[in-house]
Structure 1
Amino acid sequence: MIYKKWGTRPSSVRSKRTWPGYASFVWVAVFILFHIYWAFGGRFGLGDASNPIPPLPTNLSEWIYFYIVIIMFAAGTIAPLATVQSWGRFIPRRIIYIACCIGCVVLILRGGAGFVDDFFRTTDLLPNGITGLTYEQIYGDKHISTYTLWSSRAMDGNFFLGGILYGLAAWFYHSRI
């Protein structure tokens, strides 16, 4: 059967192809809610390190980075939802696809780099990891708890999961183009 419009497919076929867009949106919404929670002093998910949240920017380059991240949050919220909502048709398809691909790459690199850095630091192959930083420089404490280590690993896994979801959203969206 040939479908004349994207929106006329049976819901079972559509849902099989749209779930990554919705899942990516839910992932980023929860990610943003956690950042708001942490901004107001919440500590769940950060471990028990004394210095888990970076301070506000203090110079021009830090402020530029800060605003780039805010823009990425906004694009990362809109892009996966645009893959599955009718209003997404008003945004050029290539932009939506590229935004989801960039989200996939950035999140997988962030999560994967965290895993690799932690692996090298934990096994003492590179005591300062691939970043060149000690645990004390990262967390503000010379000796960190297992809870903090596993919180950090869970955070890396969360970034990796987000990357996979964005990649799937891009893949399924591209297959509908």
Structure 2
Amino acid sequence: MDMKASAPDLRMRAQTGRSRSLTWAGYAVFVWSIAYMLPHLYWALDGKVGLSLLKPEISASSEWEMINWVASGILTAAGFLGIAMIYLEKRKWLSWSLLAIICAGCAVATSHGIYGIGYRALQIMGAIETDSGPFDMKQHAYVLWDLLLFEPWFAIEGILLGVLGWCFMNKPRGRRIWSTLCTVGVLVGLITGLIGVRFA
């Protein structure tokens, strides 16, 4: 077997596998982000369906419309970030700049989701009270929806962003560094959550 002849073929196969994984990861980030953007855009346009899933004080606040416009913009940007990493793969200077944003997004979204799931679970179990007292299903249905719907979305978004960055890396060392940075970022997010600071 000619090792010299087979080496380029192996590199080409590895590159093809990486490109395929990066494409899947990029589109997964796009679809997941846009799917969550749509209800925010609907609420920003004064839609009323689904408001019962939310904490009443939030949906009734004077900033509600602005919150949803900002969320729609951020989620749209996150979605197109996934697409950008596919098609800007060869523009290293821009890709590396976007990776810094992706790493931050991974850390914030994942830690937000993990913290939120744990916090809401403790509220439902009665270990932590809600703003208006012990958990009551009729009065605090938003806590359950947070646990089952909204917080898991954050966690999955963060994981998908982490996978996107990991797929972009083409060397084991780069992937180890990426995994370490994302893990540290998530831990920092969880610690700040525990001391009363949440970034999203």
**Global fold match (TM > 0.5):** yes
> Out of 142, 150, 154, which is 1:155 matched to?
150
The offset of 1:143, in angstroms, is 1.5
The offset of 1:158, in angstroms, is 1.0
The count of aligned residue pairs is: 159
Q: Is residue 165 from structure 1 mapped to residue 171 from structure 2 by the alignment?
A: no
The offset of 1:155, in angstroms, is 0.9
**Corresponding position of 1:144:** 140
> Out of 44, 50, 53, which is 1:44 matched to?
50
Partner amino acid, structure 1, of 2:161:
Y
Separation of aligned partners in 2, 1:20 and 1:87:
13
Change (3 A) 1:49 1:43: farther
The offset of 1:76, in angstroms, is 1.8
> Out of 69, 78, 81, which is 2:80 matched to?
78
Q: Is residue 99 from structure 1 mapped to residue 98 from structure 2 by the alignment?
A: no
Mapped contact 2:18–2:168 kept (Cα < 8 A): no
Change (3 A) 1:88 1:28: farther
**Corresponding position of 1:116:** 118
Structure 1 stretches lacking a partner, 5+ long:
none
Change (3 A) 1:37 1:70: closer
- CA RMSD across the alignment: 3.8
Mapped contact 1:75–1:99 kept (Cα < 8 A): no
1:14-68 CA deviation, whole Å, 9 max, x = no partner?
223321111001111112112112223143385276455263439xxxx8x9997
Partner amino acid, structure 2, of 1:174:
M
If asked which structure has higher relative contact order (CA below 8 Å, sep 6+), I would say: 1
TM-score (norm 2): 0.61
Larger radius of gyration: 2
Separation of aligned partners in 1, 2:68 and 2:40:
13
Structure 2 stretches lacking a partner, 5+ long:
1-6, 175-200
TM-score (norm 1): 0.68
Mapped contact 1:21–1:81 kept (Cα < 8 A): yes
